[in-house]
A = this chain, B = another copy of it.
Amino acid sequence: MYRQPTATRAEILEATGLNPASLSHCLKRLIDAGLVLRVGELEAKAGRPADLLRLNSEAGYFVVVDLEASPIRFAVSNLLGEIRSRWEEGDPAKAMEVSVIKRGVDMVCSPLSAQEREAVLAISICRPGLVDAEGRVTSVNLGWDRFPFGEKVREVLDKPVFVENAGRSYLLAEHWFGAAAGVRDCIFVEVGKGVGGAIFSRGEFFQGRTQAEFGHITVEPGAPDLCKCGKAGCMEAIASASNVVRQYLDRVGRPGQSVPSLTVNDVIDRARRGDPHALAVTDRAVRALGLGLSYLSAIFNPEVFVVGGYFLGSEDFLLPRLRAELAMHAREWSGSCRVVPCATGSDIGLRGAAALAFYRVLEDPDLLRRLSEPRMRLAPKTRH
């Protein structure tokens, strides 16, 4: 019922494999609790018309936070990941401060009624770095090694807190609401401040013995581009936004000089207009990404690569080049592999955090009980 606007009993029977009596029992309870709504009837060829059922999108809320975005974004989402209110914190450097997170959560909840506040089930945060099951964060770029971020945040908030890596959250958003909707084998690649992402393989998050930051795969052994991770020639050292700008400044004779006003988008614009230095730099970034993606393709053979970050807005210019590069190194597989821009826009982190929260609630007996027990419900404000 999360997947589609309405469902019939027959569809739910087929999807769940429950027997009709069990399903009737469950549905009655969920309808009585206000979690499932009867929203219409579907005329049947014979017999009674079938009820059209819908998840009550307002049966619960989440506070969702995207600490990877700048500015940092806070929102209240309903059960289905639709945004109900927003708050932004301008200074991304403050993303690490627990007091800033606490204030953002308070601010975004301030327009809520007491009843709505009561219906907030959890706070779901997506953020840079690898996040383990206990909410500890490891990040080459931040220099963190299993920093107990989740614990620190839980100390100041009075609801359950879920923490997830931004790449995984973005992938969830695209898998549920975006360019990889329903695709079981898809890889999200974020090319921005860093290069990273997440992998869905056979319908589940892939993880090896430990989580990995695939932006730190060496794509140009012997390259002079030093990486924060201590190696050289990583995908990130060549293709991240700041590294594209760095290489451009090196080529136009201002090496090491900081030009705060020059962004990766400026470099891409210059490449588009034929600036040979900008073209050389963006081509090198695309070659590095294409090669890195070809490794992932060889191993996972995803149906879809969803690309986010600075590719958005320049996808007409960058994506054909990336596809050609990938095809060159993954010829055997690329025929069936699409490379597409992400589709959930700048709310990607918030919507991913909401999808994650819904899943975590399903896995948590206490929260699930809270969600499905009879009590006053808010009526849906919008149809979706």
Contact = CB atoms under 8 A, between A and B. Distances in A.
A202 interface: yes
Contacts of A202: 207-209
Contact of A298 (B217, B300, B332, B333): B217
Interface in A190-213: 201-202, 207-210, 212-213
Given A218-B291, A221-B329, A295-B299, 20 more contacts: A185-B208, A208-B299, A208-B301, A209-B300, A209-B301, A210-B301, A210-B333, A212-B298, A212-B333, A213-B298, A214-B299, A216-B332, A217-B298, A217-B329, A218-B294, A221-B291, A229-B331, A229-B332, A296-B299, A299-B299
A140 interface: yes
A217 B299 CA distance: 9
A206 to B, nearest CB: 8
A127 interface: no
A303 interface: yes
Interface in A270-304: 287, 291, 294-296, 298-303
A185 B212 contact: no
A17 interface: no
Interface string A322-334: 0000001101110
Contacts of A377: none
B217 A295 contact: yes
Contacts of A146: none
Nearest to A199: B299
Interface in A329-352: 329, 331-333
Contacts of A201: 208-209
Interface of A: 140, 184-185, 201-202, 207-210, 212-214, 216-218, 221, 229-231, 287, 291, 294-296, 298-303, 328-329, 331-333
Contacts of A140: 332
A366 B143 CA distance: 56
Given A214-B299, A295-B217, A331 B208 contact: no
A207 B298 CA distance: 11
A330 to B, nearest CB: 8
A218 B325 CA distance: 12
Contacts of A328: 218, 221, 231
Contacts of A217: 294-295, 298, 329
A282 B210 CA distance: 32
A208 B287 contact: no
B329 A218 contact: yes
A168 to B, nearest CB: 15
16 contacts: A185-B208, A202-B207, A208-B300, A208-B301, A209-B300, A209-B302, A209-B303, A212-B300, A212-B333, A217-B294, A217-B295, A217-B298, A218-B328, A221-B328, A221-B329, A295-B295
Contacts of A296: 299
Nearest to A186: B209
B230 A331 contact: yes
A294 B217 CA distance: 7
A329 B295 CA distance: 14
A296 B302 CA distance: 16
A46 B302 CA distance: 59
Q: Among A185, A299, A333, which residue has the most Cβ atoms of chain B within 10 A?
A: A299
A76 to B, nearest CB: 36
